[in-house]
Amino acid sequence: MHNIPYKKHVLVCLNETCKCQGSDKVFEKLKARIKELDLKKTYRPSRVLCLGLCGKGPNIVVWPEGTVYCGFTEDRVEDLIQKHLLGGEVLNDLLYKENISG
Ligand code: FES
């Protein structure tokens, strides 16, 4: 069992590299849509500074499952909300795919 105050917590990297790739637009749209849909009490977007995947961005992580999405663009925010957050469906085409070694 996870002890987090929200059903899901979406961390959006807003450090330099991801920001240059548009993560600020992803964050603002995600925040606005969560508010418009009256989901603020259960789904929380937060800014973070670097997820260690610079150059693959914009990068985001969804908790508690720890799903990492790379190359996440503004036009996929609605998919994230409707499919992943509300529907429990992972967006396979955006998943971080490299394996951890060692
Ligand atoms: S700048 Fe976003 S992962 Fe490093």
The tens digit of pLDDT for each residue in 38-49 reads 999 999 999 999
10, with CB counted inside 10 A (0-12, 13-18, 19+), is buried
**Edge-to-edge strand list for the sheet holding 8-13:** 43-48, 8-13, 60-63, 67-69
For residue 78, the 8-state DSSP code is H
Q: How far apart are CA 84 and CA 80, in angstroms?
A: 5
Q: Decide if pLDDT at 65 tops 70.
A: yes
Q: Hey, which of 17, 24, 26, 98 would you mutate to test ligand 1's pocket, going by the most ligand atoms within 8 Å of its Cβ?
A: 17
In order of their start, the domains of the chain are 8-73 (3.40.30.10)
pLDDT digits (tens, 9 = 90+) for 44-64: 999 999 999 999 999 999 999
Cα angle at 47 between 9 and 37, to 5 degrees? 55
